[in-house]
Amino acid sequence: MCGIFGIYNHQDAAELTYLGLYSLQHRGQESAGIVSSNGERFLYKIGAGEVQEVFSKEDLVKLNGRFAIGHVRYSTYGSSDIKNAQPIVVKCSKGFLALAHNGNLVNARYLRNKLEQQGAIFQTTTDSEVILHLISHSKEKNFVDVLKKVLPQLKGAYSLVLLTPNTLYGIRDPYGFRPLVLGKLGKSFILASETCALDIVSAEFIREIEPGEIVEIKDTQLKSYKFANSVRKALCIFEYIYFSRPDSILQGQTIHSVRMKLGKILYRELPTQADIVIPIPDSANSAALGYSQESKIYFNLGFIRNHYIGRTFIQPRQKIRDFSAKIKYNTVKDVLNNKRVVVVDDSIVRGTTSKKLIAMLKSAGSKEIHLRISSAPIIAPCVYGIDTPTKKELIAANYSVEEIRKFLGVTSLYYISINGMVSATNYDETNFCLACFNNNYPVKLKS
């Protein structure tokens, strides 16, 4: 996943980046970093943990300069080593560069081997560092020409913010796997993974960065270049289902409105009778609300989520049944007792969380449990930056819906169809990556 942010020409660049990252925290909690530039050199602070753990007030004061980029990391390719935290800062043949990347390159290993044979020494195990090496190796003089040569060599998913001491670049891969939006705050330009990061700093949304586009922001001017024509678009449909914040706007609509529609379609595809509809909070709230509106079954809160579980949480020595679910969720007994319950969740990955949550519903006295999933069965792993497990661990890749129903111990189980899922977005399937649902990978794994 990962969240990225960049701001050009603002006296409080680092502070606004901090706020932007704060609103993108849901995209990654493993590490956070900000690089600012005073026009000549970079200052930076990068550390493990959530945004508010990493930066102190003093750090933000020290990170002076009118330009900044930031990153929140969620680990995928490359270990969760702090060395892999971003932005990556280097001094190379093109001067000082700082890069923040959201996505995953599928040909990183191939490019890395090639570069190592040419003598490159890598500091991290991330695929993102490969991009900086390719930039440094380029013979082109003009930086946009460098990017136009380098970017077509990358295969896979990449939304990037790239900072030189006085220029900010925003880049989106030709398929547009990951989102990237452009905003404006007075005379400052902002780039961010999601529009919620524009809202927090009261910036105006301008537009999305197009797949295959480079925007260059320099001397208060914005220039746009195309480095590749998109053969097809492949926005990750999981951005709608789970990753993005419900208040963010993607393709002209809020994530919340699409999730509501997913819930409505879920009911229409298999009408079910029940006393209440409850979400697994928070990711399924909007879908459960949509389900309730369409079915006229009352929406209620059967689970309450605790939001305060930090990285430093101490696991109890005492064995407590279903503890990993209990630390995050608790049931509201009188809502559930003796009720026929429709439970809406956004996805089942391994099935381990669902199993524990269902056990909690049963012990709260639910009479019938109808589990409804607002995404289709996940049958294949993601190679474009989402940390899904291998095929072996994906429950729907190995078992039928009926087998999963039995394993979870629910009265009924239904997943939305792929068509239903796509139609909820108001776009057709040629716009999306659906690989984890249909095994059809828009960018092949081979270099």
Asked if residues 241 and 249 have their Cβ atoms less than 8 Å apart, the reply is no
Closer CB to ligand SF4, 33 or 420, in the complex: 420
388 binds ligand AMP (CB under 6 A): yes
Helices (H), 138-203: 143-150, 196-199
Closer CB to ligand SF4, 52 or 438, in the complex: 438
Tell me which residue of 324, 282, 272 sits closest to 303, measured CA to CA: 282
Q: What angle, 0 to 180 degrees and rounded to 10, lies between the N-to-C axes of helices 128-137 and 108-117?
A: 40
**Stretch 375-394 residues interacting with ligand SF4 (CB under 6 A):** 382, 384, 386
Query: Which partner, ligand AMP, ligand SF4, none, binds residue 348 by CB below 5 to 8 Å per kind?
Result: ligand AMP
CA atoms within 13 A on the CB side of 380: 12
Q: How far is the CB of 395 from ligand AMP (least distance, A)?
A: 7
**348, 380, 408, 421: residue in contact with ligand AMP (rule CB under 6 A):** 348
- The beta strand positions in 54-149, using DSSP E, are 67-73, 88-92, 95-102
DSSP state of 39: S
Closer CB to ligand SF4, 105 or 237, in the complex: 237
- Residue among 2, 236, 382, 433 flagged as catalytic: 2
**22, 143, 169, 177: residue in contact with ligand SF4 (rule CB under 6 A):** 177
Closer CB to ligand AMP, 123 or 306, in the complex: 306
**138, 164, 285, 354: residue in contact with ligand AMP (rule CB under 6 A):** 354
Q: How far is the CB of 31 from ligand AMP (least distance, A)?
A: 16
C-alpha 13 chain-centroid distance: 23
Residue 239 CA: distances (Å) to CA of 1, 177, 377, 434 = 9, 9, 16, 11
What x-and-dash track marks residues 184-223 binding ligand AMP by CB under 6 A? ----------------------------------------
Q: How far is the CB of 197 from ligand AMP (least distance, A)?
A: 20
**Stretch 275-314 residues interacting with ligand AMP (CB under 6 A):** 280, 283
- The beta strand positions in 93-219, using DSSP E, are 95-102, 159-163, 168-172, 181-185, 188-192, 204-208, 213-218
Asked if residues 32 and 100 have their Cβ atoms less than 8 Å apart, the reply is no
Q: How far is the CB of 326 from ligand AMP (least distance, A)?
A: 14
CA atoms within 13 A on the CB side of 179: 27
Q: How far is the CB of 52 from ligand AMP (least distance, A)?
A: 21
239 binds ligand AMP (CB under 6 A): no
**30, 59, 387, 429: residue in contact with ligand AMP (rule CB under 6 A):** 387
436 binds ligand SF4 (CB under 6 A): yes
3-state secondary structure (DSSP) of residue 365: coil
237 binds ligand SF4 (CB under 6 A): yes
- Distance, in Å, from the CA atom of 127 to the CA atom of 22, rounded to the nearest integer, reads 24
433 binds ligand SF4 (CB under 6 A): yes
**In the chain, how many H helices and how many E strands?**
17, 24
Asked if residues 291 and 414 have their Cβ atoms less than 8 Å apart, the reply is no
- Distance, in Å, from the CA atom of 290 to the CA atom of 266, rounded to the nearest integer, reads 9
2 binds ligand SF4 (CB under 6 A): no
92 catalytic? Reply is: no
Q: How far is the CB of 75 from ligand AMP (least distance, A)?
A: 11
Q: How far is the CB of 282 from ligand AMP (least distance, A)?
A: 9
1 binds ligand SF4 (CB under 6 A): no
- What residues act catalytically? 2
Q: Which residues bind ligand SF4 (CB under 6 A)?
A: 177, 236-238, 382, 384, 386, 433-436
